[in-house]
Amino acid sequence: MVVCRTMGSWWGPSTNKEDPGWIDNGVYPFKNINGGDGMQAQVDTRDNATVYSGSQFGVYSRYSKEKRGSQKFLRPFHELGEAPLRFNWQTPILLSKHNQDVLYYGASRFYRSLNKGDTMIAMSADLTNGKVKGNVPYGTITTISESPLRFGTIYAGTDDGNIHLTRDGGYNWVQLNQIPAPVVNSKKTKSKSQTDTRLNTQQLWVSRLVASQYKEGRVYLTLNGYRNDDFLAYVYMSEDFGNTWKAIGKDLPAEPVNVIREDPKNDSILYVGTDGGLYVSFDQGNSFMTWNAGLPKSVPIHDIAIQQRDNEIVLGTHGRSLYVSKLDNVQGQRKDPEWMKKIMEKEKHKPAPNADVDDDEPGEPEMQ
């Protein structure tokens, strides 16, 4: 397991069991390998010893736990005469599942390394709408996803609402911003972006793009707009590489959406994390129900990972630790509401041993 605080988390096989001594004696089976405000982490699964991790604004490094003094600083720089690069607070990185010598890195431009980050090559122009003045970088790439089924099919999203796709490893890019505006429920607050049939994404943050593991052209998209007091849940799905988008999750409450994940065993099951908790769909996003039993009330879910060996879902929250739960019953895909309610109540999420949840009792599951 590699954890970068809970702003981003990565989960891998681990046989460590919870031990009261972790708290009583302060002895943990984890070692610090990097400092700063931990951001994203990637692990080379060929040796499970090479770790990519870093801190805010894209300051990453590569480290081998088997080689002392092996830490290598990784960050691209603009060429002489070019505009300086901009880096998101949580700059995205991604190791290709097809070849883990290949590292992808998102600044204001998209970078690719073929040698584990030793050299990085700019593979795009600025994928954002350009620099905006301010004391925090704006106009940056926020999410990267490569198709598990096709090397070089890569999606990139930005903090100013742009969605791009390359199908040749970064040599050519197309923009995918033809997104329909959601139908606003009368109970939800209208926002300026819902006054047209096409969604104005420029005021939205692309929180996640996920290329499907089941179908090459399928991709999921989530956006959030709470920076502009827009609290609608924006969740979309495409079956044709983002050429056309379909709004899903129309019954989700008005909560900013942070992450979406496919179930690894059933392509009809989707998991969505919002600022209000965890939701699960058994019909590919047509409807969702809450799955918050055992979680603090209204806890923001910022990351979701699936540990396939033990068939567990791992949740990374905003400031409330990591939570783990089995997926066995959920993957049964039975649609009887009463049965599902019992499952949602039974499958309690287990917090990390030092998680402080005393001030918030676990929320009861709600059926939306």
pLDDT at 353: 46
Average pLDDT rounded to a whole number, residues 5-29: 58
- Asked if residues 203 and 230 have their Cβ atoms less than 8 Å apart, the reply is yes
Average model confidence (pLDDT) across the chain:
84
Per the CB < 8 A criterion, the answer to whether 242 and 178 are in contact is no
Question: Rounded to 10 degrees, what is the CA torsion of 8, 12, 15, 18?
Answer: 20
Distance CA 324, CA 340 (A): 19
pLDDT band at 6 (very low <50, low <70, confident <90, very high): very low
Q: CB neighbours of 336 closer than 8 A, spacing ≥ 6?
A: none
For residues 146-169, give the mean pLDDT: 98
Distance CA 368, CA 299 (A): 17
Distance (Å, whole) CA 105 – CA 91? 8
**Would you say residue 364 has pLDDT above 50?**
no
Task: Indicate the range of 227-231, 269-273, 299-303 predicted with least confidence.
Answer: 227-231
In the chain the first and final C-alpha atoms are separated, in Å, by 34
Copy the structure tokens of residue 360: 């918030």
Which tens digit of pLDDT belongs to each residue from 106-129?
Answer: 999 999 999 999 999 999 999 999
Question: Of 179, 98, 180, 111, which Cα lies nearest the Cα of 144?
Answer: 111
Question: Are residues 142 and 90 in contact, defined by beta-carbon separation less than 8 angstroms?
Answer: yes
Ordered by start, the domain boundaries in the chain are 2-12+35-351
pLDDT above 70 for 250: yes
Give which of 204, 208, 217, 176 is closest to 301, Cα–Cα. Answer: 208
| pLDDT tens string 352-363 | 444 444 444 433
Average pLDDT over residues 280-295: 91
- pLDDT tens for 322-353 read 888 889 878 876 556 666 666 665 555 555 44
Residue range 2-12+35-351 in CATH 2.130.10.10: yes
8-17, 111-120, 284-293, 333-342, range with greatest mean pLDDT: 111-120
The arithmetic mean of pLDDT across residues 274-278, rounded, is 94
